[in-house]
Amino acid sequence: MKSRPTFLEVNKAHFPVTVLGPGRRIGLWVQGCSIGCKGCISMDTWRADPRKKVDIDDLLSWCRQVGASGFDGVTISGGEPFDQAQALTVLLRGLREWRRVDKLDFDILCYSGYPLKTLHNKHAAILALLDAVISEPFIESQEPVAVWRGSSNQLLLPLSNLGHQRFDEFVSKPLADTDKKMQVAVEHGKIWMIGIPARGDMEKVEALCSSRGLSLQDVSWRR
Ligand code: SF4
C-alpha cells in the first residue's frame, strides 16, 4: 500500500492575508512550479526544494494556532499547488476535517497555473476538496480585469455550496481601483509583497526604494 505523503514543500505561510480572497485568510504558498509563465513575479517559488519540506501536521497545527482568533478562509498559492498533488490532497483533507470537527465555516481557495480542462481531467478529486479555484497560466500581455486574478484569461470557479456563497459575486466583478492592494510583511530580513500587483508596480517599488537609499537584492520577479 502506498504511504500517505506527510510533507509539502512550502515557500511561505502568512496570516492574515487580506488581498487574495474574501476576508481575513490564512495564506500558504507552496514551493515548486513546473509551468514557468513569462513575467511571473514569484520566480523564487519555481525550483522544487526538499529543504523547504514541511510536515503537513505541523502546517495544520500552525493554521489552527493563527486561526484561533477567527478567520474567513485559506488561500493556497505558490508555486504550483497541483504539482504536489498527493501532498496537497493530504493538506486539504486535514483542513476539511478541522473545519468539520470544529464546526468552522472557512472556505478553501486554491490558485493553479494549469488550465481548468487539465485540472478537471487530471485532478478532479482535488477540485472536489476545494470551495473555489483560480485557474489558468499567467499571461503578462493580458492585464487583469477581475479581482484576485493576475491576467484576464484567469478564471475564478466556485466549486461547492460554500464556494458559491462566498465567490459567486466575484466571478465577473470588474477590477476596481480599491481592489488593487498589496500587503507588505518583513520577516527574517526579507520583504514579502503579497497580492496581485498591477503591471510595472514591482519596478516602481524598486525605484522608490532606490530613491531612498534601499537597494533590493534577490528580487523574485527577475532572474
Ligand atoms: S504565475 Fe504561478 S503558475 Fe505561472 S510560473 Fe508563476 S508560480 Fe507558476
Task: Compute the distance between CA of residue 196 and CA of residue 39 in angstroms, rounded to an integer.
Answer: 13
Q: Which amino acid, residue 155?
A: L
CA 65-70-73 angle, 5° bins:
90
Ligand 1, pocket-test mutation among 28, 33, 77, 114, most atoms within 8 A of CB: 33
* Residue-level pLDDT at 2: 54
pLDDT tens-place string over residues 128-167: 999 999 999 999 999 999 999 999 999 999 999 999 999 9
Report residues whose beta carbon is within 6 angstroms of any ligand 1 atom: 33, 35-37, 40, 42, 45, 78-80, 113, 137-138
* Residue-level pLDDT at 150: 95
Task: Compute the distance between CA of residue 42 and CA of residue 61 in angstroms, rounded to an integer.
Answer: 26
Ligand 1, pocket-test mutation among 20, 76, 138, most atoms within 8 A of CB: 138
The C-alpha cell of 80 is what?
504550483
| Average pLDDT, consecutive stretches of 10 residues, N- to C-terminus, the chain (223 residues) | 81 96 98 96 94 97 97 97 98 98 98 98 98 97 95 98 98 90 84 85 82 80 71
Closest atom of ligand 1 relative to the 113 alpha carbon: 3
pLDDT tens-place string over residues 67-81: 999 999 999 999 999
Confidence (pTM):
0.93
Task: Compute the distance between CA of residue 150 and CA of residue 37 in angstroms, rounded to an integer.
Answer: 11
Strands 190-195 and 182-187: antiparallel
Query: What percent helix, strand, coil does the chain show, rounded to 5?
Result: 35, 25, 45
- Contact in structure between 56 and 6 (CB atoms under 8 Å): yes
